[in-house]
Amino acid sequence: MSCLFCSIVSGDIPSNKVYEDELVYAFYDIDPQAPVHFLVIPKEHIPSAGAVTPENSAVVAHCFEVIAKVTKELGITDFRVVSNCGLQAGQSVPHLHFHVLAGRDMTWPPG
Ligand code: 5GP
Ligand code: ZN
């Protein structure tokens, strides 16, 4: 199965890594929407937030631990975490990912 983010995890497609461990990979977004914009993804292929189950949800909690750790290391206290699920919500890569955006004022509601 060809998946862009699986190819980034395997190193077949290069990326600007922020963090990596056995379960999770984090890297800067190629098209940043804020002064700081990185993505946190499970290494395991989970298609979206809509595909989280009792069997695979532990890695989602781990993603949030990584978000807390990496933002702290970067000195970021104020940030937004976004996961788009499905085409109407703006998901363009069908591998679960959490956008972490920081460094500017964020508006609400989101567009
Ligand atoms: P989505 O649109 O699914 O919520 O988020 C996908 C994100 O992946 C987008 O913000 C897009 O800029 C980013 N992206 C797409 N292709 C690449 C790539 O090859 N490298 C990196 N670093 N980011 C990518
Ligand atoms: Zn994948």
Q: What is the pLDDT of residues 10-19, one digit of tens each?
A: 999 999 999 9
> Which entry of 37, 62, 95, 97 is annotated as an active-site residue?
97
Structure pTM?
0.98
Ligand 2 centroid from CA 72, angstroms: 27
pLDDT tens per residue, range 51-69: 999 999 999 999 999 999 9
How far apart, in whole angstroms, are the C-alpha atoms of residue 96 and residue 85?
8
Kindly state the average pLDDT of the residues 24-47.
98
How far from 47 is each of 24, 51, 68, CA to CA, in Å? 15, 6, 23
Taking the CA of residue 93 as reference, the ligand 1 atom at the shortest distance is 3
Is 97 one of the catalytic residues?
Answer: yes
Nearest residue (CA) to ligand 1, atom 19: 30
